[in-house]
């Protein structure tokens, strides 16, 4: 009889462990979905903020300066638009008013969190 009880208690313990594991996996999956959703929201909000900053600069008459590599001088960037570089950093890109070369000015922060 003692063997029957110990066998039943082992089975009960296995069932409880399996149940706990399932609950924890479900919680982890829900947390990962939430993180992905928040990352998408952050990316959309960042893009919206960058566009609003460009529109504000146009309305208020602000100018964005960058360094033209072709002319080797600081110039006012024409048609500055926010972009995201391949490494995830944000920047403003436009063209040089004198020669038409592409001018990029780095801005603060990353648009996309660094992947690990």
Question: How does strand 78-84 pair with strand 89-95?
Answer: antiparallel
Using one digit for the tens of pLDDT, what is the confidence trace for 61-88? 778 889 999 999 999 999 888 888 898 8
Using one digit for the tens of pLDDT, what is the confidence trace for 97-111? 999 999 999 987 666
Distance CA 46, CA 50 (A): 6
Q: Which residues contact 97 (CB under 8 A, 6 or more apart)?
A: 75, 76, 78
Using one digit for the tens of pLDDT, what is the confidence trace for 15-72? 888 999 999 999 999 999 999 999 999 888 887 887 787 777 777 777 888 999 999 9
pTM: 0.49
Question: How does strand 89-95 pair with strand 73-76?
Answer: unpaired
């Amino acid at each position: 009889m003692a063997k029957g009880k110990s066998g039943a208690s082992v089975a009960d313990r296995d069932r409880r462990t399996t149940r706990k594991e399932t609950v924890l996996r479900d919680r982890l999956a829900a947390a990962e979905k939430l993180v992905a959703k928040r990352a998408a929201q952050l990316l959309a909000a960042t893009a919206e903020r960058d566009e609003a900053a460009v529109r504000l600069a146009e309305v208020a008459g602000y100018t964005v300066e960058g360094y033209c590599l072709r002319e080797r001088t600081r110039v006012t960037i024409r048609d500055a638009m926010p972009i995201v570089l391949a490494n995830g950093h944000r920047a403003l890109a436009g063209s040089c008013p004198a020669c038409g070369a592409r001018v990029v000015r780095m801005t603060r922060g990353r648009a996309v969190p660094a992947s690990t």
